[in-house]
Amino acid sequence: MKKHIPNTITCCNLISGCIATGCAFYGQYQWAVLMIVVGAVFDFFDGMTARALGVSSPIGKELDSLADVVTFGVAPSTIVFYLFHEVHYPELLAPLKSFIPYTAFIMAAFSALRLAKFNLDERQTMGFIGLPTPANALFWGSLVLGQHAFLVSLKFNAVFLFLFMLLFCMLLVCEVPMLALKFKDLSWEKNKVKFIFLLGSLPCFLLSTSCFAAIIVWYVALSIITDVRARRK
C-alpha cells in the first residue's frame, strides 16, 4: 500500500494543475495561482515521501514530470493566454488579436523541454541549469495578481507581453546555473550566495505587491551574476 502513497501525492499535484488551468481559462487568476501553489506543495512532498518510505520508482519520476508539465507549464501558460485577451494591442496588431493569445502555449512547450532536460542532466543534483518550472509559474502568477492594473493599461501592450514571455522561455532552457536552496551545513563561506539571496528577498516581501515575482527576478539576477563571476575566475 505504501508504494502508492508518493504517486497519489503526485496525482494531487496533477489535479491541482488541471484545476489551475480551468480557473485561468475563465480569468479567475486568484484561484489559478492558489492551485499552482497547492500543486507546488504536493510536488515538494511527493519525492520526500518516496525517499522516506524507500519506494522511489522510475514510474514515479515520469509521473512527477507529467504532473509538473501541467501545473508549472500549462497552467501558467493559460494565465498568460487569458492575459493576452486583456492587454492593449497596437493598431498594427489589431487584426491578429484573436490569434496572438495562443502563442502563450509556447511557454508550456519550453517548460516540458526544461523538465525533460532535468530528468537526464546529471549536473543538476545540487543545483539547477536554467530556471526551474515552479519558479517560472510562481513568477507569472504573482506578476498577474500584483500588477494586473498596469499590465492591462496603455503603458503596456501585447508586444511587451510576448517578448517578456519569450525571455522566460529562454531562461527555462538556458545553460546558466541557478541557485538551489540546499544546505549541507550553515557555514557562511559555503553558503554565502544562498544567504545573500535570502536576505535580499526580505525587502521583496515588505515592499512589493508582486513579492514572488520580485523574488524570482532577484533569484535570476543573482544566479547570472554568480555565474559570470565564476567564469571570470
3-state secondary structure of 178: strand
CATH number assigned to the domain with residue range 2-178, chosen from the 4 options 3.40.47.10, 3.40.50.80, 3.90.420.10, 1.20.120.1760: 1.20.120.1760
Q: Which of 24, 23, 33, 16 is nearest to 213 (CA)?
A: 33
- Each residue of 170-222: pLDDT tens digit? 999 998 888 887 766 667 777 788 888 888 888 877 766 678 899 999 999 99
- Listed by start position, the domains of the chain span 2-178
What integer pLDDT is reported at residue 54 of this predicted model? 74
Q: Which helix (H) or strand (E) segment is 151 a member of?
A: helix 148-151
- pLDDT at res. 230: 83
DSSP assignment of 189-221? HHHHHHHHHHHHHHHHHHH-TTHHHHHHHHHHH
Residue 158 has pLDDT above 80, yes or no: yes
Lowest mean pLDDT among 83-97, 122-136, 151-165: 122-136
For 56-61, which contacts have Cβ atoms below 8 Å and span 24 or more sequence positions? 56/6, 57/3, 59/7, 60/6, 60/7, 60/10, 61/119
How much is the pLDDT for 126?
Answer: 62
> What's residue 131's pLDDT?
94
Please compute the mean of the pLDDT values over residues 43-72 and round it to a whole number: 84
pLDDT of residue 56: 74
In the numeric block, the cell 543573482 is attached to: 222
% residues pLDDT > 90 (the chain): 58
In the chain, the amino acid numbered 104 is A
Which helix (H) or strand (E) segment holds residue 227: the answer is helix 211-232
pLDDT > 70: what percent of the chain?
Answer: 93
Of residues 164 and 212, more confidently modeled: 164
Torsion, CA 151, CA 146, CA 163, CA 37, rounded to 10: -140
pLDDT digits (tens, 9 = 90+) for 66-78: 999 999 999 999 9
